[in-house]
Chain A
Amino acid sequence: MSEIETFYEVMRRQGITRRSFMKFCSLTAAALGLGPAYVPKIAEAMETKPRTPVIWVHGLECTCCSESFIRAAHPLAKDVVLSMISLDYDDTLMAAAGKAAEDAMRDTIEKYKGNYILAVEGNPPLNEDGMYCIVGGRPFVEQLKEAAEHAKAIISWGACASYGCVQAAAPNPTRATPVHKVILDKPIIKVPGCPPIAEVMTGVITYMLTFDRMPELDRQGRPAMFYSQRIHDKCYRRPHFDAGQFVEHWDDENARKGYCLYKMGCKGPTTYNACSTVRWNDGVSFPIQSGHGCIGCSEDGFWDQGSFYDRVTDIKQFGIEANADKIGATAAGVTAGAVAVHAAVSALKRAQKKNEEK
């Protein structure tokens, strides 16, 4: 046996049957939007390629990404991926602690230099030299930079690592900063969401481990296969939107009938994610299906986009709680008033001038 095991060897060691393994390959191909022809390719890659180690670090975060990840809908996928990434370093999931844990990370970096994937959950706060987040006795930002230096690629898990999330919301006292603004010289793939969908996380990591490259990314650096469409585009309540049938109050008849939540401030039309197709918890449901609008958790700065319950959201730049309609209608009203006064004065002036000319 070679020094570094293949994915398949790891899986078999974990007690996963060949039949289950093949199922996983077809499931992954489907989730990634690849044709059936890719199933044997995935299988072959996993049987022959040495396992790619993953270092999973945690900055300023709530661990909801990890919570989501370990609840991947298909237990098989979770087991496979967990055994694949093998937790070379993941301070919330691994058994080791203290110095042993930090040593494990250093060993992995040393052993797989330039060959491991760095998964970042949370982000580094930069204020006060990074003292707002200490890992292993040092500011997290140092650990992040150290781990990133020899990484092949970086995965930014969740809204924290991708955009900053709640800790970066205005006024951002700790100067929490998304990973791509700290690590500038590595390919970074953003998997936003608070948390991201488990299947999206396992799909992305499987793709990278299997094909040894980044999936196709969109303009913001998100994997296109999961973030190319909005919640709104594939929402099962969309026919009610087009019909003009909306929930007007949380407890009205329309809410019971499952009408569109647009008027309740649903951010589905501005949110790119796969919730409306993949859904959550084994495909059981997603926010809109449970009767609450999307809050846009996978979008940049979603905490600073006004209320979760308005469509025309507040604009803080004006220093007051005002939205575009309030500002616009006020300005239009003032203009109309000024026009009326101006017209009256004009008429008077004109009459006065005519009198003078007589």
Chain B
Amino acid sequence: MTDKIVRRNSVYVYEAPVRLWHWVNALSITVLCVTGYFIASPPPSMQIAEAYDQFVFGYIRFAHFAAGMILTVGFFGRLYWAFVGNRYARELFVLPVHRASFWRGVLHELRWYLFLEREPAKIVGHNPLAQLAMFVCITLGLIFMIVTGWALYAQGAGQGSYPDMAAGWVLGLIWNSQWLHTLHHLGMWMIVIFMIIHIYVAIREDIMSRQTMVSTMISGHRMFKDDEEA
């Protein structure tokens, strides 16, 4: 038995705005996925009242648009925090692709997930693989969803409206917006897949790695389970 006394040191990693963004984002994305799915495949017809007194699909669309707007505002807020926050706040936006150590880290994490490494790495911020996945699926993924989403919203808002001025250029690129619906829908599935992996890995690493994961996104502090070097 190991009876070591571990001095559980911790680092303040995720500042309050980052944590707030994370959970607001999580909630918006959940609402967006559920309502978005229903927008493409509506629930069975409901006969509650006459059409002028019933707004079921309207509320579903309203929830989608509202969540989308919150997501957009949150994304810009998060982008701002990348400039003024601590070094870990920048990890989502800047990939150190020029550094060999980053790619070695990615390889190490891949080997760890393929059960080829016995010991997990000790990392304060995101591990390199996680950072890569975050950058592709969340930073680029959300930009794609925000831009295509606002372009679709601009169709209803009408030409000359603010959404149209901001994102209408996408309609000029795509021409037939049925294809834009398809791309936006595929984007949703990409984010659903990201969510499955993200939640699984967060819980797994919380148990198996040398640092906390889930509680870090609540308290902001990353606790280390041992005192050994990374």
Contacts and interface: CB of A to CB of B under 8 A. Distances in A.
Contacts of B200: 339, 342-343
Contacts of B155: 230, 269-270
Contacts of B180: 270
B146 interface: no
A254 B45 contact: yes
B76 interface: no
A244 B2 contact: no
Interface in B53-109: 54-58, 60-61
Contacts of B42: 244, 246, 262-263
User: Most A CB atoms within 10 A — which of B44, B60, B171, B200?
Assistant: B200
Interface in B157-209: 158-159, 168-169, 171-172, 175-182, 185-186, 188-190, 192-193, 196-197, 200, 204, 207-208
Contacts of B44: 248
A245 interface: yes
B5 interface: no
B224 to A, nearest CB: 18
B192 A219 contact: no
B6 interface: no
Interface residues of B, number: 51
A4 interface: no
A48 interface: no
A251 interface: no
B46 A301 contact: no
Interface in A192-236: 218-220, 224, 228-230, 232-233
A331 B193 contact: yes
Contact of A342 (B52, B54, B113, B188): B113
Interface residues of A, number: 57
How would you classify the secondary structure of chain A's contact residues: helix, strand, loop or mixed?
Answer: helix
B172 A243 contact: no
B56 A243 contact: yes
Contact of A244 (B57, B175, B208): B57
Interface string A16-40: 0000000000000000000000000
A239 B1 contact: no
Interface in A255-310: 259, 262-263, 267, 269-270, 296, 299-302, 305-306
Contacts of A267: 178
A325 B172 contact: no
Contacts, number: 138
Contacts of A350: 207-208
Contact of A219 (B115, B171, B181, B197): B171
Given A245-B51, A259-B45, A332-B196, A345 B176 contact: no
Contacts of B196: 332, 335-336, 339
A3 interface: no
B230 interface: no
Given A229-B158, A311-B41, A350-B208, A328 B189 contact: yes
A312 interface: yes
A329 B188 CA distance: 11
Contact of B178 (A224, A296, A358): A296
A2 B128 CA distance: 82
B107 to A, nearest CB: 18
B185 A244 contact: no
B52 to A, nearest CB: 6
B2 A349 contact: no
B35 to A, nearest CB: 12
12 contacts: A228-B158, A230-B156, A243-B54, A244-B57, A263-B42, A301-B176, A313-B182, A327-B186, A328-B186, A328-B188, A345-B115, A346-B204
- Which 9 A/B pairs are nearest by Cβ-Cβ distance? A328-B189, A244-B56, A244-B57, A219-B172, A324-B185, A300-B175, A243-B54, A242-B58, A239-B51
Given A301-B175, A312-B185, 19 more contacts: A232-B156, A243-B56, A244-B45, A244-B55, A245-B45, A262-B42, A269-B155, A299-B177, A313-B178, A313-B182, A315-B186, A323-B182, A324-B185, A324-B186, A328-B185, A328-B189, A328-B193, A346-B208, A357-B2
